[in-house]
Amino acid sequence: MEQLSQPSTITIDGREFSLDSLSAEAREQIARISAADRRLQELQVDFVITQTARASFAEKLKTLLPA
């Protein structure tokens, strides 16, 4: 399995920084932001799935209502 390498630089507000030059606290905040971004992507997928399910339930309900 191919191992993905972590980038050695990061761009924030148009400025490029070497990760090695940042403090441990700054690198920790970057990791937290990355984790939050991943979670937001997961939630967006969950939202679309939930919207689709809701629409399906509503369509099924229409077939069950008296004419």
Q: Where are the domains of the chain?
A: 9-64
- Do residues 19 and 10 make contact, with C-beta atoms less than 8 angstroms apart? yes
pLDDT reported for residue 42: 99
- Do residues 7 and 19 make contact, with C-beta atoms less than 8 angstroms apart? yes
19's CB contacts (< 8 A; 6+ apart) are: 6, 7, 8, 9, 10, 27, 30
Mean pLDDT, the chain, integer: 94
Single pTM value for the model? 0.74
Residue 7 has pLDDT above 90, yes or no: no
